[in-house]
Amino acid sequence: MPGLKIRALEAKRLKIPLAKPFSSSLGVYKHVDCLAVLIHTEGGPSGTGYTTVLGGEGGAAMTVYARDEFAPLALGQDALAPEALWHRLWAPNKARLRAGLGVYALSAVDIAAWDIVGKAAGLPLNRLFGGHRQSVPAYGSGGWHTLTDAELLDEAQGSAEKGMSGYKLKIGTPRDRERISMLRREMGDKFTLYADANQKYNVREAVEVSRMLADLGVAWMEEPVIADSLDDLAEVARKSHVPVAAGENAYMRWGFREMCERRAAAYLQPDVGRCGGITELMKVLHLADAYNLPVATHLAHDVSAGPVAASPAGAMVEYMELFPPGTLTREFKLEKGSLRVPDVPGHGVEFTPEAFKRFGAD
């Protein structure tokens, strides 16, 4: 197959208001700040990629980085060689792309490039990556600090009604035990609960909280300590009374390699829009497979479903509907608690023209 030259790379910022503000241990959020990347080829298909941050103005920085740093390097390159494109963009910027918003922007570009590969081949990315299965289980996610007990229960029940067998709530409040106890009582022992600390604790506090979580049958404690201290995370993983999950703030294969080597987490949680895109997500999945660790991706269930389902290490995707209806051209609906990979070329995610008009913030 001949190559496809990239003729244009568009970076578009979308500020998508949340239906209702919510909060975690990290702060209060009123909108989703989104970078959408569109790559256009000469005489071939276009590809879409995106990444998000909750709240703040990170979308502005990501848009500038993609437009001013990456687009000039991408023009004229072969869109059917995303690994080569990834390294072309990363290599001259790697001193500034060790983590953070620059890697978010690189991720969005990479996702768009892989979308083109699938479209040019006429195959879903899931098939290109091995097609281990064509659907992947999902778990419900939310449980924000600002929810009343009634709202918390309603959200968990909504997950169950969609066929999902588990639900994740945020912890780090004075009422954690009461909130979890209520969910356990109302949802029953067969329904799985997960807890997300959002880097709230130090090692001693995290181990203490893990005792409470174990008493209430919680399946994992997510990001118990600061994400930048793998020593702390590994110590918690050794001492915790429940399994530890982490990885949404880990970057590229190297961050996950060390996490695997140190056995710092029982579940790996890469975010395709943060870790370096699909190129890096697949490497994390291969790492996890080699270390016999399950992968439960963070957010972006729509883009993640295909790659996660393609790997034997792909266990689950996090299901959280951050985009209002009409934002994407295709709905990613649950079937008995699982997401079926769209049987379309590429990854299947595209923004509607109306979304760009309604939420555009360039």
Distance CA 341, CA 347 (A): 8
State the pTM of this model. 0.97
Tokens of 63: 């848009």
Superfamily of domain 127-340: Enolase-like C-terminal domain (3.20.20.120)
pLDDT at 333: 87
Chain centroid offset of residue 69 CA: 24
pLDDT at 1: 54
The domain limits of the chain are: 6-122, 127-340
Least Cα distance to 46 among 130, 136, 118, 96 occurs for 118
pLDDT at 21: 85
String of DSSP letters for 186-216: HH-TTSEEEEE-TT---HHHHHHHHHHHHHT
pLDDT digits (tens, 9 = 90+) for 255-299: 999 999 999 999 999 999 999 999 999 999 999 999 999 999 999
Q: Using an 8 Å Cβ cutoff, are 84 and 78 in contact?
A: yes
Q: Which residues of the chain have pLDDT under 70?
A: 1, 362
Distance CA 167, CA 220 (A): 11
Per CATH, 6-122 and 127-340 having the same topology is answered no
The DSSP element (H or E) to which 105 belongs, if any, is helix 101-121
Q: Using an 8 Å Cβ cutoff, are 140 and 164 in contact?
A: yes
3-class DSSP assignment, residue 242: coil
b/e map of 239-261 (b: 16 or more CB within 10 Å)? ebebbbbbbbbbbbbebbbebbe
Superfamily of domain 6-122: Enolase-like, N-terminal domain (3.30.390.10)
Query: How many residues are given for the chain?
Result: 362
pLDDT at 215: 98
